[in-house]
Amino acid sequence: MDQRTVFFISDQTGVTAETFGQSLLTQFDGAKFRRVTIPFVSSRVKAEEAARKINLSSEVEGKRPIVFSTLVHDDLREIVSRADGLFLDFFDAFLGPLERELEVQSSHTTGRAHGMTANSDAYQVRIEATNYALTNDDGAHVRDYGKADVILVGVSRSGKTPTCLYMAMQYGVFAANYPLTEEEFESGKLPAALDAHRDKLFGLTINARRLQQIRRERMDSGRYSTAQQVGFELREAEKLFRKFGITFIDTTEMSVEEIASTILEHTGLERRFRP
């Protein structure tokens, strides 16, 4: 199969069009795609410009491109849909059935990125949760664990920081994290700050070989990334998880999204929003 050009076209940021298109494209493994995002297509002029780009791509490549679109306004959608591409519009497909079910007309207004405007509640929560994750990262700084929805614990480089940031940005969840080190392994205890919030603790572990590889790639040299050290830390961390009844998961084969969803599912934590 030859290369195809894929357009993601939106009257807003294009994030929905990209998410929507990408998850469909992953179903076509062997294919090669050239990807172009055209955001903020909010006027007839811009829609016509997008249509020209689609037509040009079709002419040059001799294959019509695939167009994933999230255009709310009928007239803009109409313009882009007339271009020489396979036009797949998200609102086109689903707004009709939804309107009939809810027995109400949709607003057909350009959706500010998922209702996430700069002054909305969801937006404020996202910023606060992100700041929270940053200041309560890696056990450093003030430990404001009273405010935490969840506190991730695990050895260094087990995936705690990106997961906390992702949960903050994607769901507005307040996630802190604390790295387990020699201090905990030797004492067999949790620090008092953590112990006071034991019901919020969630453990991450990871395969020893994978952890060693990650630490080496980060150019963390010396004892820190030896097989012996990595093995020791992981064994001790899992001992602590068991001793204190901390639920834990193995992140070796998981993406950040998967770790985050799994934690939310296990804990039953409410998402503060869905962007």
Q: Choose, by CB under 8 A, the member of 44, 112, 198, 239 that binds its own copies.
A: 112
- Shortest CB 113 distance to its own copies, Å: 5
Q: How far is the CB of 130 from its own copies (least distance, A)?
A: 5
User: Per CB under 8 A, does 66 bind its own copies?
Assistant: yes
Q: 178 forms bridges with which residues in the sheet?
A: 153
Measured from the CB atom, is 59 or 258 closer to its own copies?
258
Which structure tokens are listed for 68? 């994933």
Containing 153, the helix (H) or strand (E) segment is strand 150-154
Determine the interface stretch with its own copies among 54-62, 94-102, 186-194, 196-204 (rule: CB under 8 A).
94-102
Amino acid of residue 208: A
Among the listed residues 191, 81, 230, the one whose alpha carbon sits nearest the alpha carbon of residue 176: 191
**Per-residue CA distances from 193 to 140, 178, 202 (Å):** 12, 10, 15
- The DSSP annotation for 162-221 comes to HHHHHHHHHH---EEEEE--HHHHHHT---HHHHTTGGGEEEEE--HHHHHHHHHHTT--
Contact pick of 49, 58, 113, 145 for its own copies (by CB under 8 A): 113
Residues 2-41 that bind its own copies (CB under 8 A): 4, 8, 12-16, 18-24, 26-31, 35, 37, 39-40
User: Per-residue string for binding with its own copies, 176-215, x by CB under 8 A?
Assistant: ----------------------------------------
